[in-house]
Structures are given as C-alpha cells and as structure tokens.
Amino acid sequence: MLTITRVRELLKSHNLRPNKRLGQNFLIDRNIANKIIAAAGPKPGGTLFEIGAGLGNITADLAGLAGRVIAVEFDKGLCAVLQETLKGCANLEIFCADILKFDFAGALRNGRATVIGNLPYYITTPILERLIENRRAISGAVLMVQKEVGERLTSAPGSKVYGSLSCYLGFYAKIEFLGVVSRSSFFPQPEVDSVLLRLDFLDKPAVAVKDEELLFKVIRAAFNQRRKTIQSSLSHKKISGFGRQEVTAALNRAGIPGRQRPEMLNLQEFARIADELYE
C-alpha cells in the first residue's frame, strides 16, 4: 500500500501530475484498502481484474493474494510507473488500454474474475454498462463510486434518487452497500466523499420479462418525466413509442394505477407494464 509520501515521490520522479479530468485520486488509506481486498475475497486460484490501477496503490497486495491479476490503466504515464515498480509480480498482467473498449473475455480466456475499481464520475455509468455486457466473464465487482452515484445505485422505490440507473443495475446484479469512504482517504483529495459497493451478478435477471429492451425503454421513458404520473410519462409517443390509449389499456391489464408516480414502481411492476405493451 502506497503512502502519500510514496505517491508524491513516484509522481515527481516520473514528471507526472494527477489528471483531474481523468478523475485521478490515489487511495492512501490502508484501512479502506484492506476493506476492498476483503470484499473482493482473493483466492490463490482466482483472478482479479483491476480497473484504473493508477500507481499500483493496492495492485501489489492483490497480486500477493490472487492467482492472477489483470490491471488496466488508461494513462500511459501511470502505465510506465506500473511496469517499472511491479515488474517483480509474475502473476500480474498490465494493459495500457481504454476499459470501455477492453476485451474482457479475451483477457480472461475461459475464466471469470472479480473486478475492483475506483470509477471516475464522468464514466461511471458507461463502465457499469460495460461490466454488465461482460457479466459472463465477471462474477462480481467491488467498486468505489462518488457518494451521489452510490445513493442512486442502491436506492429503493419511493426514494427521491431512485431512477432508471437503479432499475438497470438491479435487474442484473445484487448490490451491497459496504460503507462511506471519506475524501481524505485519497490524494489529491476529491471534492466529495465516495461509497464502496459490492456487486454480485445474477445467474438470471431479477425479474422475468418478455423483452428486456422494451423494459428499459419503458423505464427510461417513465423517469424522463418523473414528476408526472406513470400514465402521462409513458403517453408521449416520441419518447416511449406508445400513445395514451395503449398505455392506459396496458396499465389496467397490469393492475398499475395510472396516477402512480414512476419512482414508486419496482422492477416487477415495470416488467408487468412492459409485458402488457409487448406485441
């Protein structure tokens, strides 16, 4: 685990500065690092996949506990540091690559991995989507996200921050809140606190539905105008593709009151609406 002094030394010796645009905040809190590692549950025969390895703050610890570690880092300068400082880790593979374009299945070959990552705010949702797309190669993930995003991801129906992202992730994974991480746990210190989450991808989606694409179309349309009733939100043909009569009939068949607000509906209820709109 790198101390703040060591982080400063590495950055200075390689003529690097933390890139705010890329969300580069390096973990310097040993207790949080231990919590991440424990949640990931590394095994001698298992594989860990680290997104945004940075300066290798916990990468060496992971390599000492897991059978194989795949570390992906976008920044070429940080990749050079990793190649230099971690060259003694025989079970570590370092890729200087864009995680949004990375070939998970190809790198993992026939195995499955647990993902670890501190996700930059500006690409948190695209990374989550990428993990979901590759869930056959990923058993679960231990992720650090900004507190605001974490609250959205773990929110339940009735919450002010419950929305399409909550539903999307909940459809594919079980989400566990592991705790708040203070901004003081990083260097440089970000402007907001973070939260630590564990995701376990489900063998099958949380609810059965006839058409997954239609389900998420319905959910996005509903939350696009969340202050309106579910009937009004879904009755904009340009957004949902359905007219008022179709929506009213579908809601009646699904047993959902048209005056209900979208944020009060759970996944099962959205699935019933989507199934009734399915042709």
Tell me, what CATH number does 161's domain have?
A: 3.40.50.150
Cβ atoms within 10 Å of 178's Cβ, excluding its own:
18
Give residue for tokens 């009755």: 235
Identify the pLDDT of residue 39.
97
Are 10 and 122 found together in one domain?
yes
| Residue 101 located in a structural domain | yes
Are 87 and 161 found together in one domain?
yes
Identify the pLDDT of residue 21.
87
CA angle 19, 24, 26 (to 5 degrees): 135
DSSP result, 1-66: ---HHHHHHHHHHTT----GGGT--EE--HHHHHHHHHHH---TT-EEEEE--TTTTTHHHHHHHS
Identify the pLDDT of residue 240.
77
| Residue 206 located in a structural domain | no
Give the pair of three-digit tokens for residue 216.
Answer: 């998420």
DSSP result, 154-205: H--TT-TT--HHHHHHHHHEEEEEEEEE-GGGEESPPSS-EEEEEEEE-SS-
Are 27 and 66 found together in one domain?
yes
| Crossing angle of the two packed helices 164-172 and 124-133, in degrees rounded to 10 | 30
**Per-residue confidence in pLDDT tens, the chain, 279 aa:** 888 999 999 999 999 999 988 889 999 999 999 999 999 999 999 999 999 999 999 999 999 999 999 999 999 999 999 999 999 999 999 999 999 999 998 998 878 899 999 999 999 999 999 999 999 999 999 999 999 999 999 999 999 999 999 999 999 999 999 999 999 999 999 999 999 999 999 999 999 999 999 999 999 999 988 889 999 999 987 777 889 999 999 999 999 999 999 999 999 999 999 999 997
Identify the pLDDT of residue 279.
73
Are 110 and 12 found together in one domain?
yes
| Residue 162 located in a structural domain | yes
Are 59 and 107 found together in one domain?
yes
Task: Give 117's DSSP letter.
Answer: E
Are 88 and 181 found together in one domain?
yes
Looking up residue 233, the CATH number of its domain turns out to be 1.10.8.100
> What CA–CA distance (Å, rounded) separates 50 from 26?
14
97 alpha-carbon distance from chain centroid: 18
Number of domains in the chain: 2
Work out whether the CA dihedral 97, 99, 100, 102 comes out positive or negative.
Answer: positive
Segments forming the whole domain that contains residue 159: 4-201
Identify the pLDDT of residue 271.
97
Identify the pLDDT of residue 109.
82
* Burial class of residue 109 in the structure, from the number of CB atoms within 10 Å of its CB (0-12 exposed, 13-18 middle, 19+ buried): exposed
> What CA–CA distance (Å, rounded) separates 161 from 150?
10
Identify the pLDDT of residue 32.
96
